[in-house]
Amino acid sequence: MSSLKEEISKRRTFAIISHPDAGKTTLTEKLLLYGGAINLAGSVKGKRTAKHAVSDWMEIEKQRGISVTSSVLQFKYNGYCINILDTPGHEDFSEDTYRTLMAADSAVMVIDASKGVEKQTVKLFKVCVMRNIPIITFINKMDRDAKNPFDLLENIEEVLGINTYPVNWPIGSGKEFKGVFDRKTQKLLCFTANNGQKEVEKTELALDDPAFNNFVNEYQKKDLFDEIELLDGAGDEFDIDAVRSGKLTPVFFGSALTNFGVEPFLEEFLQLTTPPLPRESVGEEVDPMSDYFSAFVFKIQANMNKAHRDRIAFMRICSGKFEKNMEVFHVQGNKKMRLSQPQQIMAQEREIVDEAYAGDIIGVFDPGIFSIGDTICSPGHKVKFKGIPTFAPEHFALVRQKDTMKRKQFIKGTSQIAQEGAIQIFHEPESGMEEVIVGVVGVLQFDVLKYRLENEYNVEIIMETLPYEFIRWIVNEDIDVKSLNLASDTKIIQDLKGNNLLLFTSYWSINWALDHNEGLELREFGTD
């Protein structure tokens, strides 16, 4: 039996962030391959159909062949226990994607070498920065024509405002791609394409190896030397503290599809990142190695099983050990309880867990008592983790029920779905709940709302898209919102807690509001 400390030290819990199509799925698949969780790449999350295997929970997912919600995959590698948190991209991008990052200890940022930093990556990156977690970059698709590596680094530094440290350096790209030169070992890892298998034929050449000169031509060799000299002279120095506080991102070049550079990346990643670190809670920091259990809910997933109308609350364990049937204390509910049907996802299998440790994610049956951000801990411990911020929705719609007799169901449905965190609801001050303004991070959530109101609450709705794109919470508490001087396209609204907010159609009107109202303070994230 390994000790609590040993178990927790083995844990690495991270999310992969990227813009759709940069190669997140492919990289995840290759990482799982090394963990032995699957035997052949392509069998786990090989796009549309196989994504079902991982989260075939909602009817809407089946119909559309997409994954609406993010999931967690656990696998073992070289004595480590690795949890990968999936952050969905495409149109299924939602607030859950952001919240998932609150449960991660580090992030892998995948960038398409032919494109550089793209929009969705910027959004996810901002959340990582807010938490100061390490961000490790994998520049993917080097087997295709890529941008100049210096330009890629500059692009990361400029757009994201983080320093870079290339751990390896590519020689060519596309048809000319020869491999990557490791700056630490001073060896060239020769490019050999390998699409599926785990065992990749690996050729490493030292600089003084005669084979080196056969593999790269004179010009490529000269360019490599010049570029490395430039990096050594003018580039950022490697600084592990800067990496761990998210100020410097180590950069790896590779190709997930051809399985090139993935295992060296994984090995180095495990060295660069730490096991779970102490987590802030109200009044104290919680040490993961503490002998008491503590966790917080970062995601609630509705209707895994339609027949039972159940929900699953996903929680990130922050300290100690979880054991099946143990008694816990739900802080916000002020109640002792037992967590039922605790489950974990090992590759594509859902399993009931007997025990889990700080760093792990478990999903538990939720009869409707948990909210996003809630703390659960061993009885007798007064832990309360800081809440998860409410992220700014980017799409808004006016929603009302078709049949006014269904008012009660409409309010219940929208409120419950909002409580799960799938949507945010607002209303105009002094208006009732007959008509609400729904805000979502990803447009797919509108369809989810419509579908669920019809299927679970038997309410048909009319939805009218609104032109707003930006929302800001008003920080000033004593302000008379009616007296604000605002552009004509700015709307004053309130959330369910009675906080005042403003809706804008452009950055221009945000600046207008700030310029014309002295002392007005606006915030992009909502807090408890």
Least Å distance between CB 141 and ligand G4P?
Answer: 4
Q: Are 23 and 114 in contact (CB under 8 A)?
A: no
Nearest residue (CB) to ligand G4P, 25 versus 390: 25
Q: Are 368 and 383 in contact (CB under 8 A)?
A: no
According to CB under 6 A, which one of 7, 8, 9, 18 is a site residue for ligand G4P?
A: 18
Instruction: Please enumerate, as own/partner, the contacts of 228-232 that have beta carbons within 8 Å and a separation of 24 or more.
Output: 228/169, 228/181, 228/183, 231/166, 231/169, 231/183, 232/183
Alpha carbon distances (Å) from 322 to 208, 317, 367: 53, 8, 20
Tokens in use for 504? 């804008």
Least Å distance between CB 118 and ligand G4P?
Answer: 10
Least Å distance between CB 259 and ligand G4P?
Answer: 9
Q: Does 320 bind ligand G4P (CB under 6 A)?
A: no
- Which residues are CB-contacts of 438 (< 8 A; sequence separation ≥ 6)? 396, 397, 398, 399, 414, 423, 424, 425, 426, 446, 449, 463
Residue 489 gets the label, from left (phi > 0), alpha (psi -120 to 50) or beta, of alpha
**Residue whose token pair is 């009660």:** 408
Least Å distance between CB 50 and ligand G4P?
Answer: 10
Quickly list H helices, 370-526: 407-420, 444-456, 507-516
According to CB under 6 A, which one of 21, 268, 310, 489 is a site residue for ligand G4P?
A: 21
According to CB under 6 A, which one of 9, 14, 15, 26 is a site residue for ligand G4P?
A: 26
Nearest residue (CB) to ligand G4P, 21 versus 469: 21
Instruction: Name the residue type at position 45.
Output: K
Q: Are 110 and 140 in contact (CB under 8 A)?
A: yes
Q: Does 116 bind ligand G4P (CB under 6 A)?
A: no
Kindly write out the interface string for residues 133-162 of this chain, putting x where it contacts ligand G4P by CB under 6 A and - elsewhere.
Answer: -------xx-xx------------------
According to CB under 6 A, which one of 6, 40, 47, 213 is a site residue for ligand G4P?
A: 47
Q: Which stretch binds ligand G4P (CB under 6 A): 17-25, 218-226, 271-279, 482-490?
A: 17-25
Alpha carbon distances (Å) from 285 to 127, 372, 384, 385, 388: 21, 20, 10, 9, 16
Kindly write out the interface string for residues 89-108 of this chain, putting x where it contacts ligand G4P by CB under 6 A and - elsewhere.
Answer: x-------------------
Alpha carbons 35 and 29: distance in angstroms, whole number? 10
- In the chain, the N- to C-terminal Cα span, in Å, equals 41
Nearest residue (CB) to ligand G4P, 144 versus 247: 144
Nearest residue (CB) to ligand G4P, 255 versus 303: 255
Phi and psi (nearest 5°) for 222? -65, -45
Q: Does 22 bind ligand G4P (CB under 6 A)?
A: yes
Q: Which stretch binds ligand G4P (CB under 6 A): 250-258, 266-274, 378-386, 404-412?
A: 250-258
Least Å distance between CB 156 and ligand G4P?
Answer: 17
Tokens in use for 41? 């790449």
Kindly write out the interface string for residues 439-458 of this chain, putting x where it contacts ligand G4P by CB under 6 A and - elsewhere.
Answer: --------------------
Q: Does 196 bind ligand G4P (CB under 6 A)?
A: no
Least Å distance between CB 521 and ligand G4P?
Answer: 37
Q: Are 124 and 85 in contact (CB under 8 A)?
A: no
Alpha carbons 99 and 118: distance in angstroms, whole number? 20
Q: Does 65 bind ligand G4P (CB under 6 A)?
A: no
Kindly write out the interface string for residues 254-293 of this chain, putting x where it contacts ligand G4P by CB under 6 A and - elsewhere.
Answer: -xxxx-----------------------------------
Nearest residue (CB) to ligand G4P, 256 versus 417: 256
| Binding-site size, ligand G4P (CB under 6 A) | 18
Q: Please, which of residues 382-401 interact with ligand G4P by CB under 6 A?
A: none
CB atoms within 10 A of CB 64: 15
Q: Does 24 bind ligand G4P (CB under 6 A)?
A: yes
DSSP 57: -
Q: Are 139 and 123 in contact (CB under 8 A)?
A: no
Least Å distance between CB 71 and ligand G4P?
Answer: 13
Least Å distance between CB 345 and ligand G4P?
Answer: 18
Site for ligand G4P, rule CB under 6 A: 18, 20-26, 47, 89, 140-141, 143-144, 255-258
